[in-house]
Amino acid sequence: MRTFGHKKPVRDEAGEIVGSKDAPVRVRTVDTLGGAFGPDRDKRLVVSLEDRDQIVMRPERTGRKLQASAVDVYRWLIGCEANRKVLERARAKKSKKAERLAAQREQRWVKRGCK
């Protein structure tokens, strides 16, 4: 498995390894960015794993890159997951409250003799 800061060997004419050269893992996304990204909407992302555990992203055929450490990306993803769970619980609680209040309104309506 290739890792962050991957290096490939440099060989001489005899085939002996004389050094190493940086060879970060680079991949390109399948889908384009989409309309929310303005002039980059038709471009795909190029993601590379570089030295010192850095994840670097840039739109294809541009030099504008953004980078973050793998630990920071993982921390952000954990936060997103936690927020999603909190939001699901809040939606469930809101739904139960709406049902309870609707039942109370109906009971008041019946008690007044409007039915």
3-state secondary structure 20-50: EEECCEEEECCCCCCHHHHHHCCCCEEEEEE
Task: Evaluate whether residue 115 is within a structural domain.
Answer: no
Total count of domains within the chain: 1
pLDDT in the model for residue 115: 62
pLDDT digits (tens, 9 = 90+) for 50-103: 988 999 999 999 999 999 999 999 999 999 999 999 999 999 999 999 999 999
Q: What is the pTM of this model?
A: 0.72
pLDDT tier at 113, thresholds 50, 70, 90: confident
Q: For residue 69, is it within any domain?
A: yes
| DSSP secondary structure, the chain, as one string | ---TT-EEEEE-TTS-EEEEEE--EEEE-SS---GGGGGGTTPPEEEEEETTTEEEEEETT----EEEEHHHHHHHHHHHHHHHHHHHHHHHHHHHHHHHHHHHHHHHHHHTT--
68 within a domain of the structure (yes/no): yes
Residue 113 inside a domain? The answer is no
Domain hosting 83: range is: 7-107
